[in-house]
């Protein structure tokens, strides 16, 4: 069987999307491609975002390949499954324009939270709930009703999965990138000066905490690690291809301290710089020193609130005081060129307290974000608390709530100032 895996040329015009618009490695498609080939099938990956391909360019290549399955994600790479564009405009356009006779398969946060609505909006045949890495090859050989997280529709019936799939991370061997345009990528995620060649890798997936705002309940939930040796083999292959910076997409880098230490020790021996996102309360002075020795140049830390009450409201499970968090951020900045503390709008934080905390850290070289208004992604604890279990209109409901709440208060500086209604973006009136 043949699988065409397509990462569209993403366009975020009119969206409330607040992720990075540049291209990033579609690791979910790369892992799936490897698993498809392991199962004896053929996979061809088209990264239109990286290679700047039009839908017509890809249509011609897909037609020539003649796949049995056409797979398109609903978010631009695993890195942004947790904060995807709410609208399905781009995957809808690409499914329609590629007009393949193949079985159309949607993967991503939308098919995980609202599989029935995703099937309807995208007019696709299959919607996968959860992580697709190991599931896609099963579509060719296993009755779909027996595949965890597999929803589908047929002319005479519809099957909606009641569970989500989670990958065995130990089974995800080293990617070889032999058929991926590593040299075509220059973007270094979350590095704001200089130049080089960037990439993304994944060491661990999931998180042991359950913060109220975090979009991980339906995928990338339970904490799991890959083999350190497999990751270091990927690092070596990328270095050989000219990559000098790797951003780890892990939700929370450093949770598994023993293996994270082994990985950092291996990275310290290699000519590579790294970036990551983490919780500063996972680290101490000794481990931050090791992080600096591993050539970390970008560290993004979720603080969320400058008060303990605010962090408790968000269910952060943070045991450190704000003063201790500040000490660790400053210590990290003495060893890492870019250290960033991210904040979320909460009712417990007074503007003057936020500004005082920001100014104190900025004077020591730590960059502190403005408090970001959080989107209640369907499936998050916040969404469930406000609206209940996601139904077929969950994304519209969340989008309406978000735009009505923050239209006057203002969005973040990386968002469109006048986002377009979701129904207009998707043309679903």
Per-residue tokens: 381: 């604890």
Does the pLDDT of residue 419 top 70, yes or no?
Answer: yes
Domain co-membership, 127 together with 228: no
Position 428 confidence tier, pLDDT thresholds 50, 70, 90: low
Tell me if 211 is assigned to some domain.
Answer: yes
Tell me if 74 is assigned to some domain.
Answer: yes
pLDDT for residue 308: 93
Q: Which distant-in-sequence residues (6+ apart) come within 8 Å of 230 by Cβ?
A: 172, 173, 174
What is the tens place of the pLDDT at every residue in 217-228? 999 999 999 999
Tell me if 50 is assigned to some domain.
Answer: yes
Average pLDDT of the residues in 150-175: 96
Domain co-membership, 203 together with 314: yes
Domain co-membership, 176 together with 134: no
Does the pLDDT of residue 410 top 80, yes or no?
Answer: no
Tell me if 401 is assigned to some domain.
Answer: no
Domain co-membership, 200 together with 289: yes
Average pLDDT of the residues in 85-89: 97
Secondary structure (H, E, C), the chain: CEEEEEECCCCCCCCCCCCCCCCCCCHHHHHHHHHHHHCCCEEEEEEHHHHCCCHHHHHHHHHHHCCCEEEEECCCCHHHCCCCCCCCHHHHHHHHHHCCCCEEEEECHHHHHCHHHHHHHHCCCEEECECCCCCHHHHHCCCHHHCCCEEEEECCEEECCCCCECCCHHHCCCCCCCCCCHHHCCCCCCCCCCCCCEEEECCEECCCCCCCCCCCCCCCCCCEECCHHHHHHHHHHHHHCCCCEEEECCCCCCCCHHHHHHHHHHHHCCCCEEEEEECHHHCCHHHHHHHHHCCEEEEEEEEECCCHHHHHHCCCCCCCCHHHHHHHHHHHHCCCCEEEEEEECCCCCCHHHHHHHHHHHHCCCCEECCCECCCCCCCCHHHHHHHCCCCCCHHHHHHHHHHHHHCCCCCCCCCCCCCCCHHHHHCCC
pLDDT for residue 11: 94
Does the pLDDT of residue 417 top 70, yes or no?
Answer: no
Domain co-membership, 68 together with 143: yes
Average pLDDT of the residues in 256-261: 94
What is the tens place of the pLDDT at every residue in 390-407? 999 999 999 999 998 877
pLDDT for residue 406: 78
Domain co-membership, 356 together with 207: yes
Domain co-membership, 50 together with 140: yes
Average pLDDT of the residues in 140-166: 95
Position 159 confidence tier, pLDDT thresholds 50, 70, 90: very high
Does the pLDDT of residue 429 top 50, yes or no?
Answer: no
Average pLDDT of the residues in 55-73: 98
Between 410 and 300, residue with greater pLDDT: 300
What is the tens place of the pLDDT at every residue in 89-104? 999 999 999 977 999 9
CA end-to-end distance (rounded Å), the chain: 37
CA 87 – CA 375 distance, rounded (Å) = 13
Percent of the chain with pLDDT over 70: 97
Domain boundary among 127, 159, 191: 159
CATH number for the domain that contains residue 271? 3.80.30.20
pLDDT for residue 353: 93
Position 420 confidence tier, pLDDT thresholds 50, 70, 90: confident
pLDDT for residue 18: 86
CA 43 – CA 257 distance, rounded (Å) = 36
Torsional sign, CA 393, 398, 401, 407: negative
pLDDT for residue 99: 79
With beta carbons less than 8 A apart as the criterion, state whether 56 and 98 touch.
no
Domain co-membership, 125 together with 12: yes
With beta carbons less than 8 A apart as the criterion, state whether 416 and 85 touch.
no
What is the tens place of the pLDDT at every residue in 332-362? 999 999 999 999 977 778 889 999 999 999 9
Half-sphere exposure of 104 (CA within 13 A, CB side): 23
CATH number for the domain that contains residue 68? 3.40.50.2300
pLDDT for residue 345: 78
> 133-142, 176-185, 347-356: which range is least confident on average?
347-356
Q: Which distant-in-sequence residues (6+ apart) come within 8 Å of 116 by Cβ?
A: 127, 151, 158, 160, 392
For the chain, what is the mean pLDDT?
95
Torsional sign, CA 250, 253, 258, 262: positive
Domain of 234 in residue numbering reads as 171-368
CA 225 – CA 406 distance, rounded (Å) = 37
Position 327 confidence tier, pLDDT thresholds 50, 70, 90: very high
What is the tens place of the pLDDT at every residue in 270-319? 999 999 999 999 999 999 999 999 999 999 999 999 999 999 999 999 99
Average pLDDT of the residues in 28-55: 98
Per-residue tokens: 367: 């960059």
Number of structural domains (the chain) is 2
Position 411 confidence tier, pLDDT thresholds 50, 70, 90: low
């Amino acid at each position: 069987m043949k699988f065409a895996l397509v990462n569209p040329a993403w366009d975020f015009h009119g969206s409330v999307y607040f992720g990075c618009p540049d291209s990033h490695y579609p690791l979910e498609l790369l892992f799936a491609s490897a698993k498809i080939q392991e199962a004896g099938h053929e996979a061809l990956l088209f990264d239109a975002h990286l290679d700047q391909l039009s839908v017509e360019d890809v249509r011609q290549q897909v037609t020539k390949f003649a796949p049995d399955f056409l797979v398109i994600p609903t978010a631009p790479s695993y890195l942004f499954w947790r904060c995807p564009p709410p609208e399905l405009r781009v995957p809808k356009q690409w499914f329609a324009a590629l007009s393949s006779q193949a079985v159309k398969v949607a993967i991503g946060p939308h098919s995980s939270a609202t599989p029935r609505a995703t099937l309807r909006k995208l007019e696709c045949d299959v919607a996968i709930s959860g992580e697709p890495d190991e599931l896609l090859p099963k579509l060719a050989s296993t009755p779909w009703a027996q595949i965890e997280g597999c929803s589908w529709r047929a002319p005479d019936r519809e099957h909606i999965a009641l569970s989500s799939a989670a990958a065995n991370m130990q089974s995800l061997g080293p990617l070889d990138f032999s058929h991926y345009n590593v040299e075509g990528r220059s973007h270094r995620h979350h590095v704001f000066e200089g130049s080089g060649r960037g990439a993304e890798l994944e060491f661990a997936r999931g998180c042991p905490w359950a913060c109220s705002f975090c979009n991980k309940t339906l995928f990338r939930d339970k904490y799991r690690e890959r083999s350190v040796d497999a990751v270091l083999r990927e690092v070596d292959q990328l270095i050989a291809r000219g990559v000098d910076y790797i951003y780890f997409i892990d939700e929370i880098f450093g949770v598994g301290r023993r293996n994270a230490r082994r990985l950092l020790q291996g990275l310290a021996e290699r000519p590579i710089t790294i970036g990551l996102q983490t919780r500063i309360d996972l680290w101490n002075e000794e481990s931050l020193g090791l992080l600096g020795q591993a050539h970390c140049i970008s560290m993004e830390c979720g603080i969320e609130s400058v008060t303990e009450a605010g962090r408790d409201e968000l269910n952060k499970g943070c045991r450190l005081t704000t003063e201790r968090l500040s000490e660790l951020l400053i210590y990290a900045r003495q060893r890492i060129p870019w250290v960033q503390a991210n904040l979320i709008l909460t009712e417990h934080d007074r503007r003057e307290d936020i500004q005082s905390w920001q100014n104190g850290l900025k004077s020591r070289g730590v960059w502190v974000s403005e408090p970001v208004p959080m989107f209640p992604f369907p499936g998050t604890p916040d969404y469930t608390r406000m609206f209940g279990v996601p139904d077929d209109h969950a994304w519209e409901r969340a989008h309406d709530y978000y735009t009505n709440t923050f239209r006057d208060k203002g969005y973040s500086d990386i968002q469109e100032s006048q986002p377009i209604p979701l129904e207009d973006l998707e043309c679903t009136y």
